[in-house]
């Protein structure tokens, strides 16, 4: 099994000016496509595909006033334009501005086989670019991707690669953990640990306030970037340890975009949930661990010790951080309790998937036998093992599963 991954590496700042000049050319191509699409629609009421733009763009990379961009980047810009326009269901899109207050952040897309890597540098459009190669790009086959600029003017290479995934162990043989993503705490774990969200910026808050009141925009941006970097750095370390220690990781399916419209909007956008979930998903893949997304509804109200629906209810219940179950008397931290419920649900989902897969395989085997085919090593040794047995899905203090290291 393989999976596609996007690797992001920082490009050294001495190339920033040159990349920005290429980004202006991308904007030129984009705006040309936008203009052309507008005219074609006025005249013929039809939309152009990415491929339809190619003849119009022919020759743009040759001759006296040629673009510096390689032709694959010009074509990819047109294709991305067409895709984006179709996605937004518009006749035209916004212009990409190369200057002024509404300048678009630099962006240069490219197709597969446009860049190459050697000796720690990336070759693009006739130049070798130095990068901070945090991924060891030499170990991958580089495919399509883009160069992009962040709000501070730093450039990054985002390139997709194929990675090979190892075979997973059956989930009953490994330990499991539940993760509840929250607002006050970024995450609570079923083993009782919590990660406070404010830890990433508490010490920077005074500086941020000063910079905001003084109207220092660059400083404000830099502080926000610092907070985001700290959070990302911490999330990488946390998710790596989680995936190393546990073979099953269950995460709530909390929907940030829905919550972002509500009264908690600011903290939701800030929380880094999707970053954490994405990291857990791909790190689980790499480490051959199971990643399970679990419907969260009700996980804060149900007692993880006895299963009674006895927790704090409704909006007012949101403020309750700690409660005692009226049925069994167990004391709970709100978020840790939710994480335990997520773990139990996640294991139940895995168990269900496994028994479904087991039935399908049994059916397949029966068909094969009836058809006179040999049931070969391929289907017998597919690595799913005894299904669902040993996964305890009862609500209970300590019997989540045998061999569990999660408490």
Edge to edge, what strands does the sheet with 2-11 contain?
A: 107-110, 145-149, 155-164, 2-11, 127-132, 121-124, 116-118
Span between the terminal Cα atoms of the chain, in Å: 32
Q: How far is the CB of 332 from Zn ion (least distance, A)?
A: 8
Stretch that binds Zn ion, among 12-20, 27-35, 263-271, 318-326 (CB under 5 A): 318-326
Candidate residues 325, 344, 387, 400; the one interacting with Zn ion per rule CB under 5 A: 325
C-beta of 84 vs 324, nearer to Zn ion: 324
C-beta of 242 vs 303, nearer to Zn ion: 303
- What part of residues 71-100 is at the interface with Zn ion (CB under 5 A)? none
Q: How far is the CB of 324 from Zn ion (least distance, A)?
A: 9
Candidate residues 225, 228, 306, 375; the one interacting with Zn ion per rule CB under 5 A: 306
Stretch that binds Zn ion, among 8-16, 90-98, 139-147, 322-330 (CB under 5 A): 322-330
Q: How far is the CB of 404 from Zn ion (least distance, A)?
A: 20
- Under a CB-based contact definition with an 8 Å cutoff, are residues 225 and 152 in contact? yes
Site string for Zn ion, 24-63 (x = CB under 5 A): ----------------------------------------
Rounded Cα–Cα distance for residues 345 and 299 (Å): 9
- What part of residues 274-303 is at the interface with Zn ion (CB under 5 A)? 303
Residue 161 engages Zn ion in binding (rule: CB under 5 A): no
Q: How far is the CB of 311 from Zn ion (least distance, A)?
A: 9
Rounded Cα–Cα distance for residues 380 and 383 (Å): 8
C-beta of 146 vs 304, nearer to Zn ion: 304
Rounded Cα–Cα distance for residues 38 and 32 (Å): 10
Stretch that binds Zn ion, among 198-206, 222-230, 324-332, 378-386 (CB under 5 A): 324-332
User: Which residues contact residue 160 at a Cβ distance below 8 angstroms, ignoring those fewer than 6 apart?
Assistant: 4, 5, 6, 7, 143, 144, 145
- The CA-atom distances, in angstroms, between 368 and each of 236, 357, 358, 379, 383 are 46, 16, 15, 10, 19
Residue 66: its H or E element: none
C-beta of 138 vs 329, nearer to Zn ion: 329
Candidate residues 327, 367, 380, 382; the one interacting with Zn ion per rule CB under 5 A: 327
Stretch that binds Zn ion, among 207-215, 231-239, 329-337, 397-405 (CB under 5 A): 329-337
Candidate residues 176, 305, 338, 343; the one interacting with Zn ion per rule CB under 5 A: 305
Candidate residues 165, 204, 328, 349; the one interacting with Zn ion per rule CB under 5 A: 328
Q: Which 8-state DSSP code applies to residue 318?
A: G
Q: How far is the CB of 309 from Zn ion (least distance, A)?
A: 10
Q: How far is the CB of 329 from Zn ion (least distance, A)?
A: 7
C-beta of 214 vs 326, nearer to Zn ion: 326
- Under a CB-based contact definition with an 8 Å cutoff, are residues 310 and 325 in contact? yes
- The CA-atom distances, in angstroms, between 144 and each of 3, 141, 238 are 15, 10, 30
Residue 336 engages Zn ion in binding (rule: CB under 5 A): no
Provide the pairing of β-strand 121-124 with 290-294: unpaired
SS3 content of the chain, % helix, strand, coil (to 5): 45, 20, 40
**How many amino acids of this chain bind Zn ion (CB under 5 A)?**
8
∠ Cα 124 62 155 (to 5°): 25
- Give the residues lining the site for Zn ion (CB under 5 A): 303, 305-306, 308, 325, 327-328, 330
């Amino acid at each position: 099994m393989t999976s596609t991954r996007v690797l992001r590496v920082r490009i050294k700042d001495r190339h920033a000016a040159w990349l920005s000049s290429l980004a202006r050319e991308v904007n030129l191509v984009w705006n040309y496509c936008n203009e052309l699409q507008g005219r074609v629609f006025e005249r013929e009421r039809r939309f152009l595909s990415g491929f339809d733009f190619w003849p119009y763009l022919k020759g743009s990379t040759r001759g006296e006033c040629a673009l510096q961009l390689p032709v694959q980047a010009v074509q990819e810009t047109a294709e991305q334009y067409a895709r984006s326009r179709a996605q937004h269901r518009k006749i035209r899109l916004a212009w990409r501005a190369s200057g002024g207050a509404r300048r678009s952040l630099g962006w240069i897309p490219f197709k597969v086989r446009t860049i190459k890597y050697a000796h720690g540098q990336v070759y693009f459009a006739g130049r070798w670019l130095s990068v901070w190669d945090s991924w060891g790009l030499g170990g991958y086959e580089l495919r399509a991707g883009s160069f992009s600029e962040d709000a501070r003017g730093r450039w990054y290479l985002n390139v997709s690669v194929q990675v090979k995934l190892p075979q997973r162990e059956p989930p009953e043989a490994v330990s499991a953990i539940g993760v509840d993503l929250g607002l006050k705490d970024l995450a609570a774990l079923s083993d009782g640990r919590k990660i406070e969200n404010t830890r990433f910026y508490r010490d920077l808050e005074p500086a941020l306030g000063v910079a905001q009141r003084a109207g220092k925009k660059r400083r404000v941006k830099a502080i926000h970037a610092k907070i985001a970097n700290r959070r990302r750095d911490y999330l990488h370390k946390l998710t790596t340890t989680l995936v190393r220690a546990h073979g099953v990781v269950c995460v709530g399916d909390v929907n940030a975009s829905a919550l972002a419209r509500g009264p908690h909007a600011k903290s939701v956008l800030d929380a880094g949930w999707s970053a954490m979930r994405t990291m857990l998903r791909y790190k689980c893949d790499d480490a051959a661990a199971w990643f399970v997304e679990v419907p969260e509804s009700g996980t804060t109200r149900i007692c993880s010790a006895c299963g009674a629906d006895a927790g704090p209810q409704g909006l007012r219940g949101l403020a309750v951080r700690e409660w005692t179950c009226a049925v069994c008397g167990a004391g709970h931290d709100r978020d840790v309790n939710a994480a335990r419920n997520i773990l139990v649900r996640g294991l139940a989902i895995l168990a269900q998937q496994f028994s479904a897969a087991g039935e399908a395989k049994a059916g397949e085997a029966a068909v094969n036998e009836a058809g006179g085919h040999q049931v070969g090593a391929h289907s017998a040794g597919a690595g799913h093992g005894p299904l669902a047995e040993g996964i305890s899905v009862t609500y209970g203090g300590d019997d989540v599963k045998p061999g569990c290291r999660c408490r």
